[in-house]
Chains A and B, each alone.
Chain A
């Protein structure tokens, strides 16, 4: 065949808010429906968790065997991406989108495997919970008290043609948990004491409902995608320009990760461009301690993972350099972290924030709260 780029596969995500709400069941239901329509469907990865009704739903669907990966003298089973590519079904069902592959696998994350399938023209239907969405990570910790480590960058979810909600009321979910449908008894008890509190579940469910509504919203409007350059400038009735450009200020402070997530999330919702800038001392990188440098590199790397363009500036005065960059790049909003509690950083950061506000003139400044403080 000539070097014709293959059609990209379509991604569909079934979103839930906890284990046991019926994501996998819904994915298999879709698979069965498509199979009945005569489509070529295969299961790339399925996690049965010993659930009877769910297992029954796989009947008649082809399984592509998993790959056995050895790690530290133990064997693990992972999705066999190469085998799926060789089989090349029209539609592939892949459970647990945020899964981290065992070390030594070709790719670190299952979502990366899925991107490979999509690039090869395979349609994928997959499942994930709301707490794995990167930009909600801080809020999730606030709600559940748990820091979720397996996250999916928002841009990956944006690639989906459709996000469908698997809904179940918390009460029905707790009943399932009590009956041992979701987990084995002792694990269920532990789950109920931690993550599966009814209030936390309600809050997570609300987030999932809102996120699904948002995913519909972004797919409906005529605006080009978030990070595209060709965004149409529009104005409101009063003639105010509605197109925003958000600048996130990166420092070594631990609050920076939350600041980046919040900036990304607001930018996505407003369909705004998003940049991140770090101001280094005039003497350059070398004048910083190794620890500071490492923290800054981590934050820059994190921003890039979320598809935020990053820039390093040099300047004696952080506030001046930041605002100057903002003015020359038509930034409309600067995102800064709230001054931390401890003494010296508090005064330095407070002075910096107030100076940015003073210099910013026509640019708005958003001081992002440290949401971790409200945990309790």
Chain B
């Protein structure tokens, strides 16, 4: 549905926003350090940053450390008060009640992806964190890409390894702050292989794998940042589109060379780590053949993982531009011909209008299939 008003909040939305903001105010803040593999230095980064924070007088405690810490981490840990884990259930887990009694401003939890032993109040450590946040305690934590549930299939396909613990992506996405700890892939190669020196061919393969993981992690953080920025702008009623993220909109008709357009758009959006939209402006008087072709085109779009949208409106150009503005589109792909379908009902020339009226959006014009007549 074309709804241009979404950016300007209604009174009810504003009220909900204020209430949500108040709830958020009382809740602790969650900060996540994300790494693409072990050995990139997440733990050290977290402890080092908070060592400085503590030196400035903030009340920071540690509630969980990794079973095997590097020398560097052991050293920096000496700066902190540590709330010992509960051991009564067999394996160590965060002592949520003790942390709540202690009530620090910030609680550091190194390693978010742990399952608590059977019989614990919360099954997963991220649920412990949720409890602390609800209690108004801010939590800073670390996680590796491979533990993010929605990314696991992708990571497994690359690493050919499986991990059991996981944290849902939405939990990471709702963090107040997320920071990536980036390091060149070569360094984690030497660290991750448990001290064993790897064969050079093996090392090259591993490096390739780690690069792929790095890319996934960077794009994930970029998406979180994009989402937060968009939310913020929307809340403030700011109609600003920074175009940081390429969003491609393909306009299809029964006559357009949809296969070519979608294929190009899919490739381009993949290259830019962007998003793909395919829209069709509904019109009457489609012949049954046209209807079938169109359905096929939209099916191809869904297969390409595009957001498919049927638009309505007397004026197709206006409908497309409304949708483009709402979604922050940066490139429109459109077919061009004089004959047939929607184009005939548009005057003056719709492609021309799109080009002239699209503000801040590139328009890429494709010749329609099987013809290349003049305008």
Contact = CB atoms under 8 A, between A and B. Distances in A.
Contacts of B243: 139, 142, 371
Interface string A159-172: 00010111111011
Contact of B242 (A167, A203, A361, A367): A203
Contact of B268 (A166, A206, A269, A373): A269
B11 interface: no
A212 B218 contact: yes
A364 B180 contact: no
A2 to B, nearest CB: 29
Given A240-B264, A360-B367, A369-B360, A12 B184 contact: yes
Contacts of A212: 182, 218
**Interface footprint category on B:** 35 or more
A262 B268 CA distance: 14
Contacts of B238: 199
Interface in B222-277: 222, 225-226, 228-229, 232-233, 238, 240-245, 259-260, 263-264, 267-268, 271-273
B361 interface: yes
A216 interface: yes
Contact of A199 (B218, B219, B229, B367): B229
Given A238-B259, A353-B355, A354-B375, A209 B267 contact: no
Contacts of B208: 220
B181 A167 contact: yes
Contact of A206 (B229, B364, B365): B229
A350 B356 contact: yes
A364 B257 CA distance: 12
Contacts of B364: 333, 364-367
Contacts of B183: 164
Given A365-B364, A371-B243, A169 B177 contact: yes
Contact of A165 (B31, B180, B211, B228): B180
A156 B270 CA distance: 24
A242 interface: yes
Given A364-B365, A371-B243, A164 B359 contact: no
B147 to A, nearest CB: 19
Interface string A63-95: 000000000000000000000000000000000
Contacts of B182: 164-167, 212
Contacts of A310: none
Interface of chain A: mostly helix, strand, loop or mixed: helix
Interface string A193-227: 00000010011011101101110110110000000
A354 B226 contact: no
A210 B375 contact: no
Given A269-B272, A371-B360, A242 B352 contact: no
B366 interface: yes
B271 A270 contact: yes
Contact of A168 (B179, B268, B363): B179
A259 to B, nearest CB: 10
Contacts of B228: 202
A51 interface: no
A364 B226 contact: no
Interface of chain B: mostly helix, strand, loop or mixed: mixed
B309 interface: no
Interface residues of A, number: 62
Given A209-B218, A210-B245, A376 B240 contact: yes
B308 to A, nearest CB: 18
Interface string B283-304: 0000000000000000000000
B372 interface: yes
A293 interface: no
Contact of B361 (A169, A179, A236, A369): A369
A206 B226 contact: yes
A61 interface: no
Contact of B363 (A203, A206, A360, A367): A367
A213 B223 CA distance: 12
Interface in B330-375: 336, 349, 351-352, 355-356, 358-367, 372, 374-375
Interface string B19-32: 00000000000010
A59 interface: no
A168 B180 CA distance: 8
A362 interface: yes
Contact of B273 (A199, A213, A219, A358): A213
Nearest to A162: B184
B179 A238 contact: no
B215 interface: yes
Nearest to B239: A376
Interface string B186-197: 000000000000
Contacts of B134: none
A339 B356 CA distance: 7
A165 B195 CA distance: 26
A368 interface: yes
Interface of A: 12, 53, 139, 142-143, 162, 164-169, 171-172, 179, 199, 202-203, 205-207, 209-210, 212-214, 216-217, 219-220, 236-238, 240, 242, 262, 266, 269-270, 333, 338-339, 350, 353-354, 357-358, 360-371, 373-374, 376
21 contacts: A139-B242, A162-B184, A167-B181, A172-B179, A202-B228, A203-B242, A209-B219, A212-B182, A213-B219, A214-B272, A216-B218, A240-B259, A240-B260, A240-B264, A270-B267, A357-B351, A360-B367, A367-B362, A367-B363, A367-B365, A369-B363
3 pairs of A and B residues whose beta carbons are closest in the complex: A209-B222, A213-B218, A165-B182
